[in-house]
Amino acid sequence: MPPTQDLLAAAGNTSQETEFFNPVPKGYQKGRHKYVAVFGTVMSGLGKGIFSSSLAKLLKDKGLTVAPIKMEGYLNIDSGTLNPYRHGEVFVLDDGLETDMDLGTYERLLDQNLTRDNYTTSGQIFRRVLDKERHGEYLGRDVQMIPHVTGEVKYMLRDLAMKQSADVIFVEVGGTVGDYENGFYIEALRELAFEEGEKSVCFVALTYVIEPHALGEQKSKAAQLGLKKLMEAGVQPHIVACRAQNPVNDSVMQKIAMFSNVPMQRVFSMHDRKSIYTIPEEMRKSGLDREILTLLNIHERVKVEQEDDAREKWRSFVNVLTGKRRFRARVGITGKYAALRDAYASIDKALEHCSAHLSVDLEVQWIDTTRFDPSEASTKLEGVDAVIVPGGFGVRGTESKIACVQHCREQGLPYLGICLGFQMAVIEFARNVCGLTTAGSTEFDAKCPHPVIDILPEQKKIEGLGGNMRLGGKDVLITPNTLASFLFDNARSIRQRFRHRYEVDPNYIPQLESHGLIFSGRHPEHPIMQILELPTHVHPYFIGAQFHPELLGRPLRPQPMFMGLVAAAIRHANPGTPAEQISTRWLPPPSKKVEPPVSAGA
CATH of the domain at 347: 3.40.50.880
Same domain? 214 vs 299: yes
pLDDT at 469: 79
Per-residue confidence band for 115, with pLDDT thresholds at 50, 70 and 90: very high
Judge whether 156 lies within some domain: yes
Helices (H), 209-249: 221-232
Residue 516 φ/ψ, nearest 5 degrees: 115, -5
pLDDT at 470: 86
| CA gap 117, 119 in Å, rounded | 6
Same domain? 275 vs 338: no
Higher-confidence position of 597 and 404: 404
The string of DSSP codes covering 62-93 is: TT--EEEEEEE-SS-SSSTTS-HHHH-PPEEP
pLDDT at 19: 58
Q: What is residue 301's DSSP assignment?
A: G
Pick from 351-355, 479-483, 574-578: least confident? 574-578
Task: Judge whether 87 counts as a catalytic residue.
Answer: no
Judge whether 600 lies within some domain: no
> Which of 107, 513, 533, 550 does the annotation list as catalytic?
550
The per-residue pLDDT for range 420-462, each reduced to its tens digit, is 999 999 999 999 999 999 999 999 998 999 999 998 665 555 4
Same domain? 91 vs 185: yes
pLDDT at 342: 76
Per-residue confidence band for 85, with pLDDT thresholds at 50, 70 and 90: low
In the predicted structure, residue 365 carries a pLDDT above the cut 60: yes
In the predicted structure, residue 5 carries a pLDDT above the cut 60: no
Region 467-474: mean pLDDT is: 82
Same domain? 231 vs 370: no
Range of the domain at 117: 3-18+32-317
In the predicted structure, residue 66 carries a pLDDT above the cut 90: yes
Task: Judge whether 181 counts as a catalytic residue.
Answer: no
Pick from 80-94, 117-131, 385-399, 573-587: least confident? 80-94
> Which of 353, 500, 539, 548 does the annotation list as catalytic?
548
The per-residue pLDDT for range 146-175, each reduced to its tens digit, is 999 999 999 999 999 999 999 999 999 999
Q: What is the pTM of this model?
A: 0.91
In the predicted structure, residue 284 carries a pLDDT above the cut 50: yes
Domain boundary among 289, 317, 345: 317
The per-residue pLDDT for range 487-496, each reduced to its tens digit, is 999 999 999 9
Region 392-417: mean pLDDT is: 91
Same domain? 339 vs 312: no
Same domain? 503 vs 543: yes
> Which of 408, 419, 434, 523 does the annotation list as catalytic?
419
Judge whether 587 lies within some domain: no
Per-residue confidence band for 10, with pLDDT thresholds at 50, 70 and 90: very low
Q: Per the structure, how many domains does the chain have? A: 2
The per-residue pLDDT for range 197-244, each reduced to its tens digit, is 999 999 999 999 999 988 889 999 999 999 999 999 999 999 999 999
Same domain? 189 vs 240: yes
Per-residue confidence band for 12, with pLDDT thresholds at 50, 70 and 90: very low
Per-residue confidence band for 600, with pLDDT thresholds at 50, 70 and 90: very low
| CA gap 492, 477 in Å, rounded | 6
CB-CB contact of 331 with 384 (8 Å): yes
Same domain? 194 vs 52: yes
Same domain? 70 vs 200: yes
Sign of CA dihedral 330, 424, 584, 558: positive
What strands lie across the sheet with 239-244, from one edge to the other? 119-121, 66-72, 168-173, 34-40, 201-208, 239-244, 267-271
Per-residue confidence band for 414, with pLDDT thresholds at 50, 70 and 90: very high
Q: Give the rounded percent of residues in the chain with a pLDDT score beyond 70.
A: 92
Task: Judge whether 550 counts as a catalytic residue.
Answer: yes
Per-residue confidence band for 598, with pLDDT thresholds at 50, 70 and 90: very low
pLDDT at 602: 37
Judge whether 76 lies within some domain: yes
Judge whether 24 lies within some domain: no
Domain boundary among 317, 350, 385: 317
In the predicted structure, residue 467 carries a pLDDT above the cut 60: no
Per-residue confidence band for 416, with pLDDT thresholds at 50, 70 and 90: very high
pLDDT at 393: 78
Judge whether 589 lies within some domain: no
Residue 117's CATH number: 3.40.50.300
The per-residue pLDDT for range 182-195, each reduced to its tens digit, is 999 999 999 999 99
Same domain? 251 vs 305: yes
Judge whether 234 lies within some domain: yes
Domain boundary among 284, 317, 350: 317
pLDDT at 589: 85
Same domain? 505 vs 556: yes
pLDDT at 317: 95
Judge whether 412 lies within some domain: yes
Beta strands in 455-528 (DSSP E): 470-478, 493-500, 503-504, 518-522
Contacts of 342 (CB under 8 A, 6+ apart): 84, 88, 89, 101
Same domain? 291 vs 360: no
